[in-house]
Amino acid sequence: MKVTSVMTPLKANIAVDVDGYEDIEFEDIIACDLMSDVLVVDKEDFLLVTSLTSDQVARTSDIVGAVAIMLVNGKTPQPKLKELAKESGIPILTTPLGCFEACYALGQLQKGER
C-alpha cells in the first residue's frame, strides 16, 4: 500500500517530507508505543503507528527497516525526530485520529486491498 493512499482516509498531514515519499509503499502495519517491542518484530517495510515523538522513533525505524512513521492523536514530531527521520529517509505523517481509530481505518484499507 502506498503511504500517500492512507493520508485522506486518516486525515493525515505530512510532517517530515523526504525525497520520493509519494512512491513509498508499506507491506504491513505495526502499532506500538514501545520501541523495545518494535525491535522484536520480524516484519520489514512496515508503517509504524505510534504516539511516541522522541528521536528514538526514527532510530528504531531505521534499525528495523520501517518505511514510514504515522504519529497518532495529532502529535507532532520533536525537532530531533524530524532531523533524524529526514537523515534516514523515513517520512513522518501525523493524524488527528487516536491510535485505535487510526488502526481501524488502516485495517479497513488493508482489507480493501486484499
* Contact residues: another protein, CB under 8 A: 33-40, 44, 50, 52, 54-57, 59-60, 62-65, 80, 88
CB of 64 to another protein, least distance (A): 6
Q: Which residues contact 69 (CB under 8 A, 6 or more apart)?
A: 16, 47, 48, 50, 57, 58, 61, 77, 85, 90, 91, 92, 93
CA–CA separation, 29 and 64 (whole Å): 13
Query: 528504531: which residue's cell?
Result: 60
CB of 58 to another protein, least distance (A): 9
Output 37 or 108, the one with its CB closest to another protein.
Answer: 37
Output 5 or 65, the one with its CB closest to another protein.
Answer: 65
CB of 96 to another protein, least distance (A): 21
